[in-house]
Amino acid sequence: MRIGPAGAEVPAVRVGEDRYVAVSDTVGDIDASFLASDTVASLDALVAERVAAGKARPLEGARIGPPIVRPHQIICVGLNYTDHAAATGQTVPAEPVITTKAPNTLSGPHDRLVLPPGSTRTDWEVELGIVIGRRAYRLADERDAEEAIAGYTLVNDVSERALQFEHGGQWIKGKAAPTFTPCGPVLATRDEIADVRALDLRLDVNGTTRQRGSTKDMVFGPAWLVRYLSHFMVLEPGDLICTGTPAGTGMTSDPPVYLASGDVVELDGGPLGLQRHTVTDSGPDPVAETH
Protein backbone atom coordinates (compact mmCIF):
# COMPACT_ATOMS: atom_id res chain seq x y z
CA MET A 1 0.00 0.00 0.00
CA ARG A 2 0.90 3.68 -0.13
CA ILE A 3 -0.45 5.94 2.61
CA GLY A 4 -0.55 9.73 2.88
CA PRO A 5 -1.44 12.94 1.03
CA ALA A 6 -1.36 12.95 -2.76
CA GLY A 7 2.20 13.32 -3.94
CA ALA A 8 3.60 12.52 -0.50
CA GLU A 9 2.54 8.90 -0.01
CA VAL A 10 4.77 6.50 1.91
CA PRO A 11 5.00 2.73 1.39
CA ALA A 12 3.22 0.44 3.82
CA VAL A 13 2.07 -3.16 4.21
CA ARG A 14 -1.56 -3.89 5.08
CA VAL A 15 -2.08 -6.06 8.15
CA GLY A 16 -5.47 -7.77 8.19
CA GLU A 17 -8.29 -5.59 6.87
CA ASP A 18 -7.93 -2.44 8.95
CA ARG A 19 -4.30 -1.83 9.93
CA TYR A 20 -0.98 -1.18 8.27
CA VAL A 21 2.72 -1.13 9.04
CA ALA A 22 4.85 1.71 7.68
CA VAL A 23 8.02 0.54 5.88
CA SER A 24 9.34 3.81 4.44
CA ASP A 25 12.59 3.43 6.38
CA THR A 26 13.29 0.24 4.42
CA VAL A 27 11.46 0.84 1.14
CA GLY A 28 11.90 4.09 -0.73
CA ASP A 29 8.60 3.71 -2.56
CA ILE A 30 6.64 1.09 -4.49
CA ASP A 31 8.31 2.01 -7.73
CA ALA A 32 10.16 0.28 -10.56
CA SER A 33 13.37 -0.30 -8.59
CA PHE A 34 11.50 -1.78 -5.63
CA LEU A 35 9.32 -4.06 -7.76
CA ALA A 36 12.35 -5.35 -9.68
CA SER A 37 14.30 -6.10 -6.47
CA ASP A 38 14.15 -8.91 -3.93
CA THR A 39 12.99 -6.57 -1.18
CA VAL A 40 9.35 -7.70 -1.39
CA ALA A 41 10.18 -11.19 -0.11
CA SER A 42 12.20 -9.77 2.79
CA LEU A 43 9.34 -7.68 4.19
CA ASP A 44 7.51 -10.57 5.90
CA ALA A 45 9.89 -10.79 8.84
CA LEU A 46 10.07 -7.02 9.23
CA VAL A 47 6.28 -6.65 9.26
CA ALA A 48 5.86 -9.51 11.76
CA GLU A 49 8.43 -7.90 14.05
CA ARG A 50 6.69 -4.53 13.92
CA VAL A 51 3.25 -6.03 14.51
CA ALA A 52 4.62 -7.88 17.56
CA ALA A 53 6.08 -4.59 18.80
CA GLY A 54 2.66 -2.91 18.54
CA LYS A 55 3.63 -0.69 15.61
CA ALA A 56 0.64 -1.50 13.40
CA ARG A 57 -1.47 1.60 12.76
CA PRO A 58 -5.21 1.90 12.01
CA LEU A 59 -6.20 2.57 8.40
CA GLU A 60 -9.27 4.52 9.52
CA GLY A 61 -8.79 8.19 8.77
CA ALA A 62 -5.70 7.66 6.61
CA ARG A 63 -5.71 8.53 2.92
CA ILE A 64 -4.86 5.51 0.78
CA GLY A 65 -3.05 6.36 -2.42
CA PRO A 66 -2.62 4.19 -5.49
CA PRO A 67 -0.44 1.21 -4.47
CA ILE A 68 2.21 1.94 -7.11
CA VAL A 69 4.08 5.06 -8.15
CA ARG A 70 2.96 6.57 -11.45
CA PRO A 71 3.81 3.84 -13.98
CA HIS A 72 5.84 4.11 -17.15
CA GLN A 73 2.67 3.17 -19.05
CA ILE A 74 -0.92 2.04 -18.52
CA ILE A 75 -2.12 -0.46 -21.12
CA CYS A 76 -5.80 -1.35 -21.52
CA VAL A 77 -7.33 -4.48 -23.03
CA GLY A 78 -10.73 -4.17 -24.69
CA LEU A 79 -13.47 -6.77 -25.22
CA ASN A 80 -11.74 -9.35 -22.99
CA TYR A 81 -14.92 -10.79 -21.44
CA THR A 82 -17.34 -12.79 -23.56
CA ASP A 83 -20.42 -11.20 -21.95
CA HIS A 84 -19.11 -7.66 -22.41
CA ALA A 85 -18.28 -8.28 -26.08
CA ALA A 86 -21.78 -9.64 -26.61
CA ALA A 87 -23.32 -6.63 -24.85
CA THR A 88 -21.50 -4.26 -27.21
CA GLY A 89 -22.72 -6.23 -30.21
CA GLN A 90 -19.19 -7.24 -31.20
CA THR A 91 -17.58 -10.62 -31.61
CA VAL A 92 -14.74 -11.75 -29.40
CA PRO A 93 -11.53 -10.70 -31.18
CA ALA A 94 -8.99 -13.27 -32.34
CA GLU A 95 -6.29 -11.13 -30.76
CA PRO A 96 -6.64 -8.61 -27.92
CA VAL A 97 -7.82 -5.07 -28.62
CA ILE A 98 -5.22 -2.76 -27.05
CA THR A 99 -5.30 0.92 -26.12
CA THR A 100 -3.56 3.05 -23.50
CA LYS A 101 -4.31 5.51 -20.73
CA ALA A 102 -2.23 8.49 -19.68
CA PRO A 103 -0.11 7.49 -16.65
CA ASN A 104 -1.12 10.69 -14.83
CA THR A 105 -4.73 9.46 -14.67
CA LEU A 106 -3.78 7.25 -11.69
CA SER A 107 -5.59 8.11 -8.45
CA GLY A 108 -6.30 6.52 -5.08
CA PRO A 109 -9.13 4.07 -4.41
CA HIS A 110 -11.15 6.58 -2.37
CA ASP A 111 -10.23 9.80 -4.16
CA ARG A 112 -12.87 11.84 -5.94
CA LEU A 113 -13.66 10.98 -9.56
CA VAL A 114 -13.65 14.28 -11.43
CA LEU A 115 -15.78 14.60 -14.57
CA PRO A 116 -14.03 16.38 -17.45
CA PRO A 117 -15.65 19.67 -18.58
CA GLY A 118 -18.77 19.03 -20.64
CA SER A 119 -18.85 15.33 -19.85
CA THR A 120 -22.07 13.64 -20.95
CA ARG A 121 -21.13 9.94 -21.07
CA THR A 122 -18.59 9.09 -18.36
CA ASP A 123 -18.71 5.34 -17.75
CA TRP A 124 -17.30 2.81 -15.30
CA GLU A 125 -15.33 -0.44 -15.84
CA VAL A 126 -14.27 -2.67 -12.93
CA GLU A 127 -11.10 -4.53 -13.88
CA LEU A 128 -8.27 -6.71 -12.68
CA GLY A 129 -4.98 -4.83 -12.96
CA ILE A 130 -1.63 -6.54 -13.56
CA VAL A 131 1.52 -4.84 -12.26
CA ILE A 132 4.76 -5.81 -13.99
CA GLY A 133 7.71 -6.75 -11.79
CA ARG A 134 10.65 -6.97 -14.16
CA ARG A 135 11.66 -5.73 -17.58
CA ALA A 136 10.09 -8.00 -20.20
CA TYR A 137 10.50 -8.17 -23.96
CA ARG A 138 9.53 -11.00 -26.29
CA LEU A 139 8.84 -13.49 -23.53
CA ALA A 140 9.03 -17.11 -24.66
CA ASP A 141 5.98 -18.53 -22.90
CA GLU A 142 3.39 -18.04 -20.17
CA ARG A 143 5.72 -19.41 -17.48
CA ASP A 144 8.16 -16.58 -18.22
CA ALA A 145 5.23 -14.18 -18.24
CA GLU A 146 4.10 -15.33 -14.78
CA GLU A 147 7.58 -14.61 -13.45
CA ALA A 148 7.37 -11.09 -14.88
CA ILE A 149 4.22 -10.26 -12.86
CA ALA A 150 4.78 -8.52 -9.52
CA GLY A 151 1.15 -8.77 -8.50
CA TYR A 152 -2.43 -7.68 -9.00
CA THR A 153 -4.60 -4.72 -8.08
CA LEU A 154 -8.18 -3.45 -8.50
CA VAL A 155 -8.80 -0.80 -11.17
CA ASN A 156 -11.73 1.29 -12.37
CA ASP A 157 -10.97 1.98 -16.04
CA VAL A 158 -13.13 5.11 -16.28
CA SER A 159 -13.99 6.18 -19.83
CA GLU A 160 -15.81 9.18 -21.29
CA ARG A 161 -17.64 7.51 -24.18
CA ALA A 162 -18.38 10.66 -26.21
CA LEU A 163 -14.68 11.53 -26.22
CA GLN A 164 -13.78 7.90 -26.87
CA PHE A 165 -16.01 7.29 -29.88
CA GLU A 166 -17.11 10.60 -31.38
CA HIS A 167 -13.80 12.30 -32.10
CA GLY A 168 -12.10 9.77 -34.39
CA GLY A 169 -8.77 8.05 -33.83
CA GLN A 170 -7.85 6.03 -30.79
CA TRP A 171 -9.79 5.27 -27.59
CA ILE A 172 -7.22 7.07 -25.41
CA LYS A 173 -9.14 10.32 -26.04
CA GLY A 174 -11.88 9.09 -23.71
CA LYS A 175 -9.55 7.56 -21.12
CA ALA A 176 -6.97 10.24 -20.41
CA ALA A 177 -8.75 12.71 -18.10
CA PRO A 178 -7.37 13.30 -14.58
CA THR A 179 -8.59 10.77 -11.96
CA PHE A 180 -9.74 8.28 -14.63
CA THR A 181 -7.75 5.34 -13.22
CA PRO A 182 -8.67 4.79 -9.56
CA CYS A 183 -6.31 2.04 -8.41
CA GLY A 184 -5.91 -0.05 -5.26
CA PRO A 185 -6.18 -0.10 -2.32
CA VAL A 186 -3.50 -2.82 -2.37
CA LEU A 187 -1.00 -4.48 -4.63
CA ALA A 188 -1.39 -8.20 -3.89
CA THR A 189 1.73 -10.17 -4.76
CA ARG A 190 1.31 -13.27 -6.93
CA ASP A 191 1.64 -15.66 -3.98
CA GLU A 192 -1.27 -13.97 -2.20
CA ILE A 193 -3.80 -14.82 -4.93
CA ALA A 194 -4.59 -18.54 -5.00
CA ASP A 195 -6.20 -18.43 -8.45
CA VAL A 196 -6.19 -15.20 -10.42
CA ARG A 197 -8.70 -16.75 -12.83
CA ALA A 198 -11.27 -17.13 -10.04
CA LEU A 199 -11.66 -13.58 -8.71
CA ASP A 200 -15.13 -12.10 -8.35
CA LEU A 201 -15.48 -8.47 -9.46
CA ARG A 202 -18.39 -6.18 -8.59
CA LEU A 203 -19.23 -2.53 -9.22
CA ASP A 204 -22.16 -0.61 -7.72
CA VAL A 205 -23.41 2.89 -8.54
CA ASN A 206 -25.48 4.58 -5.82
CA GLY A 207 -26.05 1.20 -4.16
CA THR A 208 -27.28 -0.55 -7.33
CA THR A 209 -25.12 -3.37 -8.66
CA ARG A 210 -24.15 -2.61 -12.25
CA GLN A 211 -21.38 -5.14 -12.86
CA ARG A 212 -20.87 -8.59 -11.41
CA GLY A 213 -18.37 -10.90 -13.09
CA SER A 214 -15.48 -13.27 -12.63
CA THR A 215 -12.01 -13.38 -14.09
CA LYS A 216 -12.76 -16.98 -15.12
CA ASP A 217 -14.68 -15.44 -18.04
CA MET A 218 -11.68 -13.55 -19.40
CA VAL A 219 -10.92 -14.48 -23.01
CA PHE A 220 -7.19 -13.85 -22.60
CA GLY A 221 -5.72 -14.61 -19.17
CA PRO A 222 -3.14 -12.49 -17.32
CA ALA A 223 -0.01 -14.50 -18.18
CA TRP A 224 -1.11 -14.87 -21.81
CA LEU A 225 -1.63 -11.11 -22.06
CA VAL A 226 1.78 -10.30 -20.59
CA ARG A 227 3.51 -12.67 -23.01
CA TYR A 228 1.49 -11.28 -25.93
CA LEU A 229 2.13 -7.63 -25.09
CA SER A 230 5.86 -8.27 -24.64
CA HIS A 231 6.07 -9.12 -28.35
CA PHE A 232 4.96 -5.59 -29.27
CA MET A 233 6.67 -3.46 -26.62
CA VAL A 234 9.07 -3.48 -23.70
CA LEU A 235 7.22 -3.86 -20.42
CA GLU A 236 8.91 -2.10 -17.51
CA PRO A 237 8.62 -2.77 -13.75
CA GLY A 238 5.62 -0.91 -12.42
CA ASP A 239 3.71 -0.89 -15.72
CA LEU A 240 -0.04 -1.37 -15.19
CA ILE A 241 -2.16 -3.55 -17.49
CA CYS A 242 -5.95 -3.15 -17.19
CA THR A 243 -7.28 -6.51 -18.37
CA GLY A 244 -10.81 -5.69 -19.50
CA THR A 245 -14.24 -5.52 -17.92
CA PRO A 246 -17.26 -7.82 -17.61
CA ALA A 247 -20.75 -6.86 -18.81
CA GLY A 248 -22.73 -4.10 -17.15
CA THR A 249 -21.13 -0.86 -18.24
CA GLY A 250 -23.32 2.21 -18.52
CA MET A 251 -22.88 2.29 -22.28
CA THR A 252 -24.39 -1.18 -22.70
CA SER A 253 -27.26 -0.69 -20.24
CA ASP A 254 -30.81 -0.40 -21.57
CA PRO A 255 -31.30 2.53 -21.56
CA PRO A 256 -27.69 3.73 -21.31
CA VAL A 257 -26.82 5.40 -18.01
CA TYR A 258 -23.76 7.47 -17.17
CA LEU A 259 -22.13 9.06 -14.14
CA ALA A 260 -23.19 12.45 -12.80
CA SER A 261 -21.92 14.71 -10.06
CA GLY A 262 -22.87 13.32 -6.65
CA ASP A 263 -22.91 9.67 -7.72
CA VAL A 264 -21.06 7.17 -5.54
CA VAL A 265 -19.18 4.34 -7.23
CA GLU A 266 -18.12 1.28 -5.21
CA LEU A 267 -15.93 -1.61 -6.39
CA ASP A 268 -15.24 -4.95 -4.74
CA GLY A 269 -12.30 -7.09 -5.86
CA GLY A 270 -12.40 -9.70 -3.07
CA PRO A 271 -8.78 -10.10 -1.86
CA LEU A 272 -7.84 -7.02 -3.91
CA GLY A 273 -9.97 -4.85 -1.60
CA LEU A 274 -12.62 -2.17 -1.98
CA GLN A 275 -12.87 1.17 -3.75
CA ARG A 276 -15.34 3.97 -3.12
CA HIS A 277 -15.27 7.26 -4.98
CA THR A 278 -17.67 10.18 -5.22
CA VAL A 279 -18.19 11.79 -8.62
CA THR A 280 -17.71 15.55 -8.82
CA ASP A 281 -17.87 18.19 -11.56
CA SER A 282 -14.60 19.53 -12.88
CA GLY A 283 -13.45 22.87 -11.52
CA PRO A 284 -10.81 25.21 -12.92
CA ASP A 285 -8.02 22.79 -11.87
CA PRO A 286 -9.28 19.19 -11.82
CA VAL A 287 -5.83 17.85 -10.89
CA ALA A 288 -5.73 19.94 -7.72
CA GLU A 289 -9.29 18.87 -6.89
CA THR A 290 -8.59 15.17 -7.26
CA HIS A 291 -7.93 14.38 -3.62
Give the number of other CB atoms < 10 A from CB of residue 167.
Answer: 10
* pLDDT tens digits for range 81-109: 988 777 777 788 899 999 999 999 999 99
Q: Would you state the pLDDT for residue 170?
A: 84
In the predicted structure, residue 147 carries a pLDDT above the cut 60: yes
Determine the average pLDDT of the residues in 73-80: 95
Q: What is the pLDDT of residue 288?
A: 52
Give the chain's mean pLDDT: 94
- What pLDDT, on a 0 to 100 scale, did the predictor assign at position 234? 98
Share of the chain above pLDDT 90, in %: 87
pLDDT value, residue 289 = 47
What band does 284 get if pLDDT is binned at 50, 70 and 90? Answer: low
Assess whether pLDDT exceeds 70 at residue 290: no
Amino acid 286: pLDDT: 55
pLDDT grade for 291, boundaries at 50, 70 and 90: very low
Strand-by-strand arrangement of the 126-132 sheet: 97-101, 74-78, 240-242, 126-132, 149-156, 188-189
Distance, CA of 237 to CA of 250 (rounded, Å)? 33
